[in-house]
């Protein structure tokens, strides 16, 4: 029902969210699965995400993240991804970053990619960025850039993209040696990965060390000017502009 927008509005009107939260501890697996899927659908709308945040479910979801089975974990990660884009304060308070950090090393690649995506959402806000840097997640993300699975790479690049906005993040990524990995990613087929990689490199190029390292590689960016996807071209132009900037 939550898949339709009318259904979502109905959800919000009748505060079904709170009612569903009772099922969080339900012993039946399918019950919880469906409930989490419903939450995920609700969270995709801004109002839905707001109401989930308002009902204080985030700490519970983070707890469940540790305990639940993997399928449900994926759904929860998706829900968190949508909710945390707006306000990550509750998640940070409930210690989400270390948990996600663990998930980054999980054997299941879906979980890895979704965890990276959720970290990206956390990093969208300034508090999240600082927390992520403080918990030393950036080196892990840099490691994930080398992951065999494409989705994981893309999401890790995205998370790095946001985490490197702050100066500390930039230097942490540079220290972890992110640049070579990101340069490899520029050749990947999936546009999302390329976009994220370009953006991350742009961030890193803001720092003098990054610019110094990237200046020899400017040609790679110039090659991307001919990319079929419009946004990749734009991003490449911006990147070259930043790399070649002189104070």
Partner 1 sequence: MSFKFIRISRFNFEKEHLIQPLPFLYSFQDVEYDTLELDEEPIRYGNIMYDRRVIRGNTYALHTYPPTSQPDPVELQRQQEAKRKALARKRAREHLRPRSPEPVEGRKHADVQTELYLEELADRIIEVDMECQTDAFLDRPPSPLFIPAKTGRDVATQILEGELFDFDIEVKPMLEVLVGKTIEQSLLEVMEEEELAELQMQQQQFEELRNLELAEVQRLEEQERRHQEEKEHRRQQQLEVLHKQNETSKKIAARAYAKMYLADLLPSVFSNLRDKGYFYDPVERDIEVGFLPWLMHEVDKTIEYNMLGRIVLDMLIREVVETRLNMFEQLGAKQSEVLPDENDKEREESLTTGAEQFIEGSQRSSQRDSQWDSQGGSLRYDSLDSAFTNQRESFERGASFDP
Distance of alpha carbon 77 from alpha carbon 71, whole angstroms? 10
Stretch 185-224 residues interacting with partner 1 (CB under 8 A): 191-192, 195-196, 199, 202-203, 206
Near partner 1 by CB under 8 A, which window of 88-96, 134-142, 160-168, 219-227? 160-168
Q: Which of 166, 168, 211, 237 binds partner 1 (CB under 8 A)?
A: 166
Print the binding letters for residues 63-102 with partner 1: x by CB under 8 A, - otherwise.
Answer: ----------------------------------------
Whose Cβ is closer to partner 1: residue 68's or residue 78's? 78
User: Residue 161, interface with partner 1 (CB under 8 A)?
Assistant: yes
- Kindly tell me which residue out of 49, 72, 124, 132 binds partner 1, with binding defined by CB under 8 A: 124
Per CB under 8 A, 165 contacts partner 1: yes
Would you tell me which residues interact with partner 1 (CB under 8 A)? 120, 124, 158, 161-162, 165-167, 191-192, 195-196, 199, 202-203, 206, 231, 235, 238
């Amino acid at each position: 029902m939550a898949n339709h927008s009318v259904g979502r509005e109905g959800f919000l009107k009748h505060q079904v969210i709170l009612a569903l939260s009772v099922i969080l501890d339900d012993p039946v697996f399918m019950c919880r699965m469906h409930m989490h899927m419903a939450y995920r659908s609700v969270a995709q709308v801004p109002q839905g995400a707001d109401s989930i945040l308002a009902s204080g479910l985030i700490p519970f979801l983070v707890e469940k993240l540790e305990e639940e089975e993997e399928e449900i974990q994926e759904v929860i990660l998706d829900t968190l991804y949508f909710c945390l884009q707006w306000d990550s304060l509750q998640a940070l308070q409930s210690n989400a970053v270390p948990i996600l950090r663990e998930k980054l090393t999980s054997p299941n690649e879906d979980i890895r990619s979704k965890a990276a995506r959720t970290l990206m959402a956390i990093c969208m806000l300034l508090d999240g960025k600082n927390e992520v840097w403080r918990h030393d997640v950036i080196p892990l993300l840099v490691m994930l850039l080398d992951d065999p699975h494409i989705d994981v790479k893309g999401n890790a690049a995205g998370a790095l993209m946001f985490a490197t906005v702050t100066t500390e993040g930039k230097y942490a990524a540079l220290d972890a040696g992110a640049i070579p990995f990101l340069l490899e990613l520029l050749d990947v087929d999936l546009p999302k990965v390329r976009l994220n990689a370009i953006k991350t490199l742009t961030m890193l190029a803001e720092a003098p060390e990054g610019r110094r390292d990237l200046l020899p590689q400017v040609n790679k960016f110039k090659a991307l000017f001919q990319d079929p996807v419009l946004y990749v071209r734009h991003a490449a132009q911006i990147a070259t502009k930043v790399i070649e900037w002189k104070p």
